[in-house]
Amino acid sequence: MKKRIIMMLFAAMINGQWSMVNAQSISRNVISSAGGTMTAGGNMITYNIGEPAIHTLTAGSSQLTQGFEQPGEEIRTGTISPLSFCAGSMVSVPFSAIDIGGGNTFTAQLSNASCSFASPVNIGTLAGNVSGTVSTIIPTLTPAGSGYRIRVVSNSPGKNGSDNGTDIAISAGVPTSSAGALTAPAEACISSVSIVSVNAISGSNVQYSWNTGSNSSVVKFCSIITGPFVNGPFLTTTNSVYAQFGALEIGSSGYNICVQGTNACGSTNNKCSWVRGAVSVPGAITPAAGAVACPNDVKNYVAGTSGGASVYNWTLNGSPAPITVGQGTTNITVTFPGGFAGGSLCVTAALSCGGSSTSAPRCMTITNGPAVAGTMTGPSSICPGATGVTYSVPAVTGAAGYNWTSPAGTIIIGGQNTTSITVSFPVVYTGAPPVCVSANSSCASSVARCKTVGSSIPGQPGAMAGPTTNICNSTVQYSIASVPKANGPTPYTWTNPAGTTITSGQGSTTIQLQVSPSFTSGFLTVTANTNLCSPGSSTPRTITISGKPNTPPTITANPASFCNGGFPNFSVTPISPQPVNNWSVSNGTITAGQFSTNIDVTWGTGTGTVNVIASNTCGSSGTRSQDFTGIACREEGRNSTTAFSVYPNPAHDNLTVSIDVNETAGFTIKLMDVSGRVVLSENRTGLAGLNIYELNLSHLSKGLYMLEVKSSQNNWKKKVVVE
């Protein structure tokens, strides 16, 4: 109770002034909460008190009354958390205390289950006179109930504090019965809402905890059908809840909904129920033979079932309404439209709610002609004359028959119109065209499946590499490229002419052939062999080889145009081994080079014939004959009748310069390389008539040079090749 102290102050007004008698004193600490100033007749009083003041001011009788309330002792019990306990569990009781004297003990008290403190149960104490927390235990024998409250009281002074303000549930033990089978929908689609219930679970303060167990599918819960729906675990005091189904995770086919009874003492089993949310792709469409259909055909098809599905939807692309019987089931009848060439017959499965539960489609490609036959079995090469050779393909879905064709000259001796035939091959076999087969239906044929069948006998060897002439008294090499299918102990057989010996390589693609000094000519032959066939040799590859040289090639004059009485050089291309070249000239004289590849000639006047014959110990070649004509001229000179020539050209160690002049003259001879650098320089004197000068070139590198000869009246230039 609050205490009120009233102090009356009487004062006599003398000459209009207040006279103050007595004053208040307060023994306890007062919390300042009110105050102010009062005046009358020029007198003033100021006050400051703990509770609102009650004051009176009377001017006529000079009377002032001041009243205030002194604050009293107070205990306020704080918030208890949680609000559900199992008997025997710990509880913390916070409280605040005001104006409690020393030597005090605070006691936490528990009401009965109906919030009554008529016979409270002391559950814990704390000595002191300031705010704090009593930590204690709910008595283990406390009866179960949901209307308990807790307060804190003191004994000095004796003061009952307020209770915690909210009902507390206390359970005497775990729920006493189990969660049984849930009553839930068998299937659900995204966003659908269904009520789910379970048997009532016995026990004190039992709540139902709704969850999805270990399944991660999205299911949300609410106590009312309109929501809002939240993720579990979701608690209800009743044994039913509304479930909202969300999008399934990839690979999941349904939802898990679970519930368990729970209170502060423990929980029951977690009972789950599975709700299908998706179905698998329907099974294969049969019959497989239905993959071929002609326009206006009527055919029946069956799809394998999909677990949990109740609706099957069929389509045939390119046709608006082909399903004439059975739409929605696994068994249908299709009427194919006129002009049907091909399309996909597809079926999906779904739950009765459709929508998100619809599966991916199962499809069958249907055409008006069978598919191309599969890989053909049978040999890809045979021996000519073989009989009873078998070729086969796998059966083609929807095929009514098979049309086979075989290479030219072969005979199909059995199996036409089936998946396998037997063929006989001729003794002379080319291997074209291939073996082919196409599958047929009543309205179309497939593209043909073909297999090229060649001969097991190797093909003719390719061109033979090696010399064909001038191989006298030597060892030479001949070779061919390897031939496919050549096998056996001796894949290649070489046959050589008389006068030669194969020293190595018989049976391979390369041989060494020793040629005698007396060999004239003959045939060198090679065949590729196999032991797969009998006989098993290819068409032979043959060349003619000769020991004597070939007729020399074209004779070249240097210079190409020369003067009557000039000094041309004639040459043929060198070969290896170098034969003896026998030269003859019908209009001139050979001055150097007989038996070599080039000769120097002093030419006569007009036209003549140059002849050359190559020879070795095995024989002589034919004669190479060419006509040449000298011209009436002064070669590369001026102002006098002179003749100028250079030979041999190409030159080796020596170069001859021939100058024919009418009178004595001095000559400057220079030889320059391609950069213009002078590499040889000589001054010579020439007498009237023919002058021959020998130049030593042995110190020069091979290459092209410019020869320049000058006199007071003439200037000659000639390109010279040094080999």
| Range in 184-188, 320-324, 397-401, 437-441 with the lowest mean pLDDT | 320-324
The values of phi and psi at residue 356, to 5°, are -65, -15
Q: Which of 521, 527, 468, 465 is nearest to 498 (CA)?
A: 521
What is the predicted pLDDT for the residue at 43? Answer: 63
Radius of gyration of the chain (CA): 64
Our measurement of the distance from residue 144's CA atom to the centroid of its chain's CA atoms, rounded to an integer in Å, reads 67
Segment 127-142 mean pLDDT? 95
What is the predicted pLDDT for the residue at 63? Answer: 53
> Is it the case that residue 46 has pLDDT exceeding 90?
no
Q: Which of 171, 104, 163, 106 is nearest to 132 (CA)?
A: 106
For residue 202, give every residue at least 6 positions away whose Cβ sits within 8 Å of its Cβ, in sequence order, or none: 175, 176, 177
d(CA 333, CA 321): 11
For residue 38, what pLDDT band results from cuts at 50, 70 and 90? low
For residue 560, give every residue at least 6 positions away whose Cβ sits within 8 Å of its Cβ, in sequence order, or none: none
For residue 355, what pLDDT band results from cuts at 50, 70 and 90? confident
Tell me whether strands 362-367 and 342-350 are parallel, antiparallel or unpaired. Answer: antiparallel
3-state secondary structure of 456: coil
As a residue count, the chain comes to 723
Task: Report the DSSP beta bridge partners of residue 474.
Answer: 515
For residue 249, what pLDDT band results from cuts at 50, 70 and 90? confident
pLDDT tens digits, 396-433: 988 889 999 999 999 999 999 999 999 999 998 877 89
What is the predicted pLDDT for the residue at 470? Answer: 93
Tokens of 254: 């349904």
Produce one character per residue of 455-468: b if its CB has 16 or more CB atoms within 10 Å, e if not. bbbbeebeebebbe
pTM for this structure?
Answer: 0.49
Residue that the structure tokens 């207040």 belong to: 18
* CA 672-654-552 angle, 5° bins: 105
What is the predicted pLDDT for the residue at 36? Answer: 61
What is the predicted pLDDT for the residue at 372? Answer: 92
* CA 565-567-571 angle, 5° bins: 135
Our measurement of the distance from residue 688's CA atom to the centroid of its chain's CA atoms, rounded to an integer in Å, reads 93
| Range in 51-65, 151-165, 674-688, 692-706 with the lowest mean pLDDT | 51-65
Q: Which residue has the higher pLDDT, 214 or 390?
A: 390
Q: Which of 553, 554, 546 is nearest to 616 (CA)?
A: 546
Please give the single-letter amino acid code of residue 78.
G
> Is it the case that residue 2 has pLDDT exceeding 50?
no
The secondary structure of 299-352, three-state, reads EEEEECCCCCCCEEEEEECCCCCCEEECCECCEEEEECCCCCCEEEEEEEEECC
For residue 42, what pLDDT band results from cuts at 50, 70 and 90? low
pLDDT tens digits, 571-599: 999 988 889 999 999 999 999 999 999 99
| Range in 157-171, 402-416, 569-583, 641-655 with the lowest mean pLDDT | 641-655
What is the predicted pLDDT for the residue at 13? Answer: 32
What is the predicted pLDDT for the residue at 216? Answer: 65
State the average pLDDT for the chain.
Answer: 87
d(CA 539, CA 259): 90
What is the predicted pLDDT for the residue at 7? Answer: 33
> Is it the case that residue 649 has pLDDT exceeding 60?
yes
pLDDT tens digits, 690-705: 888 888 888 888 888 8
What is the predicted pLDDT for the residue at 711? Answer: 86
**How many Cβ atoms from other residues are within 10 Å of residue 551's Cβ?**
16
pLDDT tens digits, 57-83: 555 555 555 554 445 789 999 999 999
For residue 395, what pLDDT band results from cuts at 50, 70 and 90? very high
The secondary structure of 153-209, three-state, reads EEECCEEEEEECCCCEEEECCCCCCCCCCCECCCECCCCCEEEEECCCCCCCCCEEE
> Is it the case that residue 114 has pLDDT exceeding 50?
yes
* CA 425-528-433 angle, 5° bins: 30
What is the predicted pLDDT for the residue at 215? Answer: 72
d(CA 61, CA 228): 72
pLDDT tens digits, 212-237: 988 766 899 999 999 999 999 999 99
d(CA 691, CA 713): 16
Q: Which residue has the higher pLDDT, 267 or 49?
A: 267
Question: How far is residue 465 from each of residues 88, 183, 478, 520, measured CA to CA in Å?
Answer: 110, 94, 5, 20
pLDDT tens digits, 520-560: 999 999 999 999 998 899 999 999 999 999 999 999 999 88
Question: How far is residue 523 from each of residues 182, 497, 526, measured CA to CA in Å?
Answer: 101, 6, 10
pLDDT tens digits, 361-383: 999 988 888 889 999 999 999 99
The secondary structure of 640-655, three-state, reads CCCEEEEECCCECCEE
> Is it the case that residue 8 has pLDDT exceeding 50?
no
Helices H / strands E in the chain, number of each: 0, 59
